[in-house]
Structure 1
Amino acid sequence: MQNELIEQWTKLNKSAMDAIKELGEINTSAMTRLTQRQMDLVNLYMEGGAKQLEAFNDAKGVQDVVGTQSRLFTELNEKLMDNARQTVDELVNVQTELSTWAEKGMEQATTNLSPSS
């Protein structure tokens, strides 16, 4: 009886440690992907600023500046929206991964705690 309890306890601990490790991997992966999205945003703003400076340098008049700024603003807005869509996709993926992880954990807990195991 005591050996069975020790075996069941060992199995439960291993299962818990595996689950914690998997959760850590999900979190690390999510943070890596979301950090990349933020770095892409920083790059977009830097690129936009450089293009604006170049436009000011090449401008022959106010009309050139206004036209170029309008075009650059439109481009930046499209890229920002694309980045926002990709970020939402990443968050949906994380939600799916966490849901799958939780369901798997519940199944394992049910299996480990059932009297027949």
Structure 2
Amino acid sequence: MDNELLKKWTDMNKVAMDAMKELGEINTTAMTRLTQRQMEMVNLYMESGSKQLQAMSDVKNVQDLVNVQSRLFAEMNEKLMENARQTIEILVDVKSELAGWAEKGMDVVNSNLPKSVKK
């Protein structure tokens, strides 16, 4: 009886460790993808600032300045919206992965419950 209990305990610990490892991998992947999005945002702001400085040196009058600013704003807004869309995609993916992870965990728990407890 003691060997059987020890084996069940060992198996349960292995399952728990595997689940935690899988959760860690989901979190690591999510953070890596979100960090990439953040870096792209930083690059976008740097690029936008550079374009604005260059545009300021090329303008001849106030109307040119307004036109350039409007064009740069529209470009940046488009890129910001795309970045936001990609970020939302990442978060939806993470939500799905976490839901799958939780369901898998519940299946493991249910499969290890004694029949008397399941009823």
Q: What's the TM-score bracket when you normalise by the shorter of the two chains?
A: over 0.9
- Structure 2 unmatched ranges of 5 or more: none
How far does residue 108 in structure 1 lie from its aligned partner after superposition? 1.1
Measure, in 2, the Cα distance between the counterparts of 1:111 and 1:33: 34
Q: Which residue does the alignment assign to 2:36?
A: 36
Q: Which residue does the alignment assign to 2:77?
A: 77
Q: Which amino acid aligns with 1:22?
A: E
Matches within 5 A, 1:75-114: 75-114=75-114
- Structure 1 unmatched ranges of 5 or more: none
Aligned length: 115
Higher relative contact order structure (alpha carbons within 8 Å, sequence separation ≥ 6): 1
Give me the CA root mean square deviation: 1.0
- Taking only the aligned residue pairs, the percentage that are identical comes to 66
TM-score (norm 2): 0.93
Q: Deviations over 1:21-65 (max 9, x none)?
A: 000000000000001111111111111110000100111111111
Q: Contact 1:26–1:98 (CA<8 Å) still a contact in 2?
A: yes
